[in-house]
Structures are given as structure tokens and as C-alpha cells.
Chain A
Amino acid sequence: MSVVRLFRASAALELAQLRGNRGFVALTALAAVSFLVMVSLFGLTGSYAPVALIDRDGGPYAQSFVEALLGAHHSFALKYMSADEAEAALLSGRLVGIITIPAGFSADIAQGTTVPIDVRIDNVNVDLTHDVQRALPAAIVAFGRKHKFPGVRVQMVEHDVLPRDTGYIPYLVVSALALDALVIAGVLGAMATAREWERRTVKLLRLSPASAGLVLAGKLVVAAAVAGGALGIAVLAIVLVYGVVPIAPWTTVFALGACVAIFTCLGAWLGALLKRTLAAVPLLFGLAMPFYVDSGALEPTRFDGEAIWMIAHLSPVYYAVGVLEWAFHGLHVTPEPVYVDLLVLLAFAVVAAALTLGRLSKGGGR
């Protein structure tokens, strides 16, 4: 049989199998969009702590202080409410804290008196508590500087490495694409190979005179194409819904294509190793989250310490996030150059494809 015919036959068979599992494929694509949504929900909790503001003064300095609170590095989502409502909301965990500006605040400030602001914090979660504790001095400093009060001798001067900050959600959703690629392409790749054991066709494959490599290539190309289509939906959501447009569109397309190809190969190897789709799918879902976090998805991994950074090198998502953040935002989130990230991803793919072929062509069949 000619190489082309064999490849086409294998691809056609895989396509027919996937058509027969439309529900499964649709749910896999849904998982891709779900990850984006979930990552966004997580991103929303990174800033704007809900805090009640009780302004008992109402004067101009009180108003100015409120503006300083609102401008304190995306720290507070101020909610105006009565003391009783605020108390009830704080006790039921709907607020992080209550800030009370006392009566006479503006008059005292005008006279040069230092006024204590009463702040009640629900310190149930130390991370949120620290955020509020650090944000209040930032607001107070901004307030003092705005009014040029005398006596301030030291100030911070900021020099940013990058011309602009990247929003947290735009940053997170791009890295979520790498996670999407891992899950979708991995699951479809795993299903393509695990099916051979589940339906006991692996023996036929081994007895066949056809090249196992070509058969595998046909199956994986189709799995990767379908995964690419599902990932395309996620990319469209990022561009149209989140308004995040890649600064390097062709690089993005190439990087995503490479991620899909690589993760399909890794999934195929996992499927051949576990021999059951039902075992491979949860494993991929289970691995996805730790891989995601330890990959520079939330911030450059090396900021989390050398040990975590070293471990991250074992994860293909680390390299994928490095390439995608560069393609979308122009950010370098790995100390390694982007081309090194890409080369490592390709090496992952080659090794995974070789291992899959090994599993398909010899031993371990049942």
C-alpha cells in the first residue's frame, strides 16, 4: 500500500471514530472554554477587595481620601453602606473590611492634625489581610502627596522594566491557552491510541504489514486537527470577548499549532501507556492544574523560587506559556529565550511520538 493511501486511510478511520464520539469531542472543546472562564474568575479575585466605606465626615478632605483609596493600585472596591449593613456583610464573609472616616476628618486635616482612620478587617485569610494592610498606607501616601503636606522627606520613584503593565486577566487567559492545548490535544491524542487497546485492535495493528508510524501519523494528524479547531474557539473567545489581540499573530498561530502537535503526541503516549481513555482523561485533567500553576501562568515561575522553577522545567506547559506570552503580549516569562522554549517543546513531541510508536509496535498488548 502506498504511503499516501495508508496515511489517508488511517486518518479517515480516526475521523470516523471521532464523528462517532461527537459528544465527547464537544465536551472536550467545552472544557477549553471552561478553563478560560475559570482562570478569569480567579483573576478577578487578585484585586479590588470589597470594602465598606462609612464616611461620617463628608468634607472635601474625606472626598479626596476616598479618591486616594480608589486609586491605590487597584486595591479596593469601595461599597457605600450603613454601619449596620457593613457589620452584617463583614460577619458573613461578604466584605474584607470596613473603613470608617470619622466625623471632623476634614477639619482636623486642615488644621494639620493626624487623624486615625478606623479599619476593621476580617483577617480570616492572611493573603487578603496583607493586601488591605499594604494598600492603606499607599492610599495615605497618595493623599498626603496630592495635598503637598509639609514634612514628607522621602518618596518612592518607580522605574518600570516594561512600557506598560499587562492586566492580570489578559495575562492569565493567554497562559490558559497552553493549558487548553494540553487538555484538548492530550485527551484526543490519548483517545486515539487507548482505543486500540480498548477495542483490542492493537494486535491487528502489530500483525499488519503496514507501517505503524504511518498509521499513528494519520490518527494523530486528525486528532491534532480537531484539537486545533477546539483551541481556535478558545482563541476567538480571547480575542473577541476578552479583547486580547496578539501582537505577533503569525507567531501565535505557529506557537499554538506547535503546542497542539506536541500535546497530541504526549497524549498519545499517555493513552498507549495507560491503555484506557477513562484513565488518561482524569490524569490529564489532574495534571493540568499543577502544570498550569507551575508554568509561569500566574507570574514568571522563577519568582516562586529556584526549586519550583527547576521543577517547572519538567512541564511542557512551562515552555508553551513562555512562547504564548511572548507571542500575545511580547512578555518574556522564562529566562530562556523563546526559541529555546520552542525547541524543547519540539523535543518533547519527538520523544513522545517515539515512545508511542514503541508502545504500539511491541510488548504490553492485552
Chain B
Amino acid sequence: MTGAVWGVARNDLAVWLRSPAAIAAALLPALGMGVLVAVLTVSVGRQPVALVVQGEGRFAARMARLIRADTDAYLLEEMTAADAERALGDQRVAAIIVVPEDFDAGLARGNAVVDLYLNNVNIDIADDLRRAVTRSVAEFDAPQLGLLGELHGPSKGLLLPNPYRVAVAEHDLRETEVSFLQYQVIPIVVLIVISIGLLGTALLTARDFERGTAKMMVLSPAGRLPLVLGRLLGGTLITIALVAPLVGLGFLTHHIPYCAEESGAPLWVTMLLSGPCGWMLPIPPWRHGLALIALLAAVTLATVGLGTLLGVALRNARLVTMTALNGAAYLFFLGGGFTTVAFLPDWIQMVSRFVPTSYAINGLRQALFYPDLVGFGRDLLVLSACAALSVVLASLMLSRAWRRA
């Protein structure tokens, strides 16, 4: 029996690896999402802003220094008023911050202003800039409202009075911060597992019906159980064969030179390496590593079972491809890919509880980014139950379908 199982699995693996279209079908959408995340990393956070300093007094200079210092918020370029206006019109900057000529005089009167000319094309970008400029301006009268004040002021026992009468004592939950890109790499890993497991197995199963090879398989002396197990093992091997190197690469990219933000590499090198550098997973402690493997194995089995069910149900490669692509996208987004489920309306959060990928993404983030494994048992239990259910159903359905083929 083992020989038959292994034979079918090996054959499926060979067929799949000889099908560039199938590999492309499974990998391209997921990799497309990866590119999307990489581009999003550039888009989020800092906005291009022109700074026009018209005031020549020392307070105007101080205000300008405060704005320049907030490098986390702005991609700042100092310009003349005319150049800044042109840049705003050409969309080279999203806003102009003007420290006006009479800033020092206004300050002496107690009503100095900083002007913000804002391209409020949508509220996301507009609110980002409003928040950032408000903070920079507030820092003038209340230095502790700046980032350093939030992090190292009242929280460290150093409280300076300020005219707004409220200060922030920020306590961060963890030592290191995970970049937006790293945070979003986890759902991409899950999407790749879903795409390959689901689409790979579904295409193999549908192909058997389209080409009539299902009949030949049933006529073989091996019996149906080894064939079914072989198909499931084949799907699992296909997924592991493609996912394991990708996950391994995520740990190896730490060693790529020039990935560090302050590496001093030329811009073109940074851009060229932004993809591989973005594919960077933190190296977890061994217990978390085991948790990672267990979660990936459970998701793989669940998607392989689901893929088999899909192949049996549709028996048509085109339909299988479109259904799997649609299904993978829903599983991805509702599971927390590119979204933080806690941000979504209550009813979507409720739906998300029934989406197995949400447990996979939560569990993987917990294993890689958090110091403990809170909730890991529940995540693994749900995924294992889904895997068991889909494998059992797939075995039954495939066996029945082949009997009738």
C-alpha cells in the first residue's frame, strides 16, 4: 500500500512540476499580493511635503527645525513659495507647510500661525498630514508632545508642564518594532500555502476527470484508499516543495547586505533589493519555530483537502482556477490579510471567526512577533479540526467520484 501511495504522490508532484501554467496560476496572484505589500510600504507613513520658511527670526527657525526633525512623518523638501505651489500642482508634494514671514511677531502677540496647504484628495492622506503637522506645531509650545517626549518623557518620570495641560506617557508593549512589510509578510505566506494547496490539488483532481485518467486509476490493482491517500500526499508535497524554500528564504534575507535602512547603498540598489529585503521573517525561538511548523502543516492539510473537494465538485480546470482564485482571495482578506480584523465592523469580525485563515494568520503572527504563544492552542486546534474535516470529506468524495468515473 505504501508503494502505491508514494507512487501516486510522486506522479502528482512530477505532473505538477512539469506544468508551468499551474505553478504560475498558484504563485503569481500570491506574489502579486507580495508586490502590493512592498509598494504599500512606500505609500504608508511618510508623505512628500514642501516646507516654505518665510520668517527669518529665531522662532521661525526653531519652528522649521521641529518640522524638519520629524523624519518619520514627512519626506520634506525645502522650497520657495512659488516652487512649492508648482510642486503641489504637479503632485510632487501632498502639502505645503508655510512658516510665515511674521511668525516671530505673531508669537510675540501670542497668535502665531503655521499654514498648511493640503491636497485633501482623500481622508487617509489628509488625516495623516493633519495629525503630523498638528504634532509638529504643538511641539513648539509643548516639547513633550513630540515623539521623543511621548517615549522618554512622562513615562520615564520626567514631566514638563505644557499649556495644553495633558501629556502622553507612552509605554510600548515590546522592545523591537516590526515594519509594516514584515507584519504583512505573514498573510502572504498563508496566501501562498492556500493558493498552492488549493489550486494545485484541485487542478490535479480536475485533470484526472478531464483527461479520463480517473478511470485508469480506478482500474489499477492498488485499490482506492492508497490512490486517495496518494493524491492528498501529492498535494501536500507540492505545497511543501514550494512553500518551504520561500519560508526558508524569509529567514535567510537577514544576511543580505544593504537591507538595513541606513546601509548607505545607492537608491537603485535599495530599490532592487526591496523585494527580497521585504521578505524577511524574524528568527523565532525553538518553541515558536515548532509552533510555526505545526500551523503551516495544519493549513497545508486543510487546503489540500479543500482543493481535492473543489476538483471533485467542478471537474473542469478553468472553473477550478477561477473558483480557487476567488476563494483564496476571500480566505486571505477575511482572515486578516492586509487588514487588521480588529479594525473591521463587528459583523465582519464575527464572519472572520469562521474563516480558518484568520486562525492561521493570528497564530503565525503570535509565533513570530509575540514573546509568548497566547491563543496558539486554540488556533492550532481550529486549524487541525478543519484539516481533519476537509481530508476526511475529500477522501470520501474522491473515492466515490472515482468509483463512478
Interface contact B375-A282, CB-CB below 8 Å: no
| Besides the known contacts A91-B372, A136-B145, 9 further A-B residue pairs in the complex with CB atoms under 8 A apart | A45-B343, A131-B131, A138-B131, A153-B107, A156-B114, A281-B325, A285-B325, A289-B36, A303-B94
Interface residues of B, CB < 8 Å — how many? 126
Q: Are A134 and B116 in contact (CB under 8 A)?
A: no
Question: What 7 pairs between A and B have smallest CB-CB spacing?
Answer: A286-B28, A151-B163, A144-B164, A116-B154, A282-B25, A27-B322, A286-B32
Contact B121 A152 (CB under 8 A): no
Given the interface pairs A136-B168, A165-B126, A166-B123, the reply to whether A157 lies near B114 with Cβ below 8 Å is yes
Stretch in B172-180, B218-226, B227-235 with 4+ CB within 8 Å of A: B172-180
A65 to B271, CA, bound (A): 43
- Of the listed residues A91, A115, A133, A334, the one surrounded by the most CB atoms of chain B closer than 10 A to its CB is A133
Please determine whether B36 and A292 come into contact, CB atoms closer than 8 angstroms: yes
- Chain A residues with CB under 8 A of B318: 21, 24, 277-278, 281
A-B contact pairs, 8 of them (CB 8 A): A117-B166, A124-B369, A126-B177, A127-B45, A138-B134, A152-B110, A279-B24, A281-B318
Chain A residues 222-273 with CB under 8 Å of chain B are: none
Q: Please provide the chain B residues from 242 to 285 with a CB less than 8 Å away from any CB of chain A in the complex.
A: 267, 271
Which of B3-11, B136-144, B296-304, B388-396 participates in binding chain A? Answer: B136-144
A114 to B171: give the CA distance in the assembly, Å: 18
Q: In the assembled complex, which residues on chain B have CB atoms less than 8 Å from the CB atom of A168? A: 122-124
- Give chain A residues whose Cβ lies under 8 Å from the Cβ of B132: 134
B325: which A residues are within 8 A, CB to CB?
31, 281-282, 285
CB-contact partner of A122 in B140, B173, B345, under 8 A: B173
A333 contacts the other chain (CB 8 A): yes
Interface string of A124-162 (1 = CB under 8 A from B): 111111110111111011011000011111111111111
Within 8 Å by CB of B172, from A45, A123, A289, lies A123
In the complex, whether B80 has a CB less than 8 A from a CB of chain A is: no
Chain B proximity mask over A8-29: 1 for CB below 8 Å, otherwise 0: 0000000000000101100110
Closest to A119 in B: B170
Question: Are B183 and A156 touching (Cβ within 8 A)?
Answer: no
Q: Contact partner of A121 among B93, B173, B323, B372, CB < 8 A?
A: B173
- On chain A, the number of residues with a Cβ less than 8 Å from chain B's Cβ atoms is 115
Contact B370 A124 (CB under 8 A): yes
Note all chain A residues with C-beta closer than 8 A to B72: 130
A31 to B333, CA, bound (A): 13
Judge if A335 is at the interface, Cβ distance under 8 Å.
yes
Cβ-defined partner of A115 (8 Å) among B134, B165, B326: B165
Chain B residue numbers with a CB within 8 Å of A73 are: 127, 130-131
Q: Which residues of B contact A154 (CB under 8 A)?
A: 63, 106-107, 112-114, 137, 140-141
Closest partner residue, chain B, to A100 (CB atom): B169
Which residue in B137, B154, B323, B338 is a CB contact (below 8 Å) of A27? B323
Contact A149 B122 (CB under 8 A): no
In the complex, which residues of chain A have a beta carbon less than 8 angstroms from the beta carbon of B161?
Answer: 113-114
Does B88 sit within 8 A of A, measured CB to CB? Answer: yes
Contacts of B155 in A (CB 8 A): 116
A331:B121 contact, CB within 8 angstroms: yes
Query: Nearest residue in B to A333 (C-beta to C-beta)?
Result: B121
* B contact residues around A292 at 8 Å (CB): 36
Given A124-B173, A161-B120, does the pair A144, B94 have CB atoms closer than 8 Å? no
- Structural contact, B121 and A162, CB atoms closer than 8 A: yes
